[in-house]
Every structure is written in C-alpha cells, then in structure tokens.
Amino acid sequence: QVQLVESGGGLVQAGGSLRLSCAASGNIFRINHMAWYRQAPGKQRELVADVTSGGITNYADSVKGRFTISSDNAKNTVYLQMDSLKPEDTAVYYCAAEVKAAWGTPADYWGQGTQVTVSS
C-alpha cells in the first residue's frame, strides 16, 4: 500500500506565503510523477502544478510566477511554495502521485488534502 500525506496548509492574509509538503511512503519502487491539485467549494478539481521525476514542471496559468513546485526524490516528497497568495487561491489542496511499486505496475494515489484559506 502507498500513502500520501500533505501538510503545511493554514490560514493566511492576502499577499502572504505558505509551503505545502507531500510525503509518499509504503511500497514504492519509483515515483514517475507528482502533482498538486486544488478544489474550491462548488468548483471542479483543477491541476495547480506538477513535476516529473526528471524535474520537468508545469503550472496553471493562474499561479505562474507565484507558485513553485519542487521535489526531493530521495525523500519521496514534493513541495509547493505559494507566494503572493490571493483569496481566490482558497481551496483544499491535494497531492497526487503516479507510483511504481516493487514488482508492480504504475498506479495513481491521492492524499487526503490540506486546507488553504486566504483572507482579504
């Protein structure tokens, strides 16, 4: 079994910063891809940023220049540095990973989410 645990969410004022972390553990041989999604009340879940094992990153237009995704392959951990936060960034943020288990095939896993609230 593979588990993803997010941390670092909280309540901040507009213009503030937060750093989210997501640590994967369990039967992991290789992580091919990790990503951050978010879902605001009444809205669809959307991709915020993702990074491949080779370090290639991708960002939603709404967060470019403000958010930075990074990973530590040795720790099976991905981070999301969020700067210049806006009220519209308020959402539950979810970590996702494509994991190759030992003697298995790649599969997708999700964390339980961490709340980010940005006040005006």
Reported as a single tens digit per residue, the pLDDT across 36-49 is: 999 999 999 999 99
Question: How far is Cα of residue 116 from the mean position of the Cα atoms in its chain?
Answer: 12
Give the sign of the dihedral formed by CA 104, CA 73, CA 68, CA 116: positive
Question: Which two structure tokens, joined as six digits, stand for 104?
Answer: 């298995």
Binned at pLDDT 50, 70 and 90, residue 88 comes out as very high
CB-CB contact of 18 with 12 (8 Å): yes
Residue among 43, 31, 9, 42 at smallest CA distance from 96: 31
Q: pLDDT tens-digit profile of 74-87?
A: 899 999 999 999 99
Q: Identify the helix (H) or strand (E) that includes residue 97.
A: strand 91-100
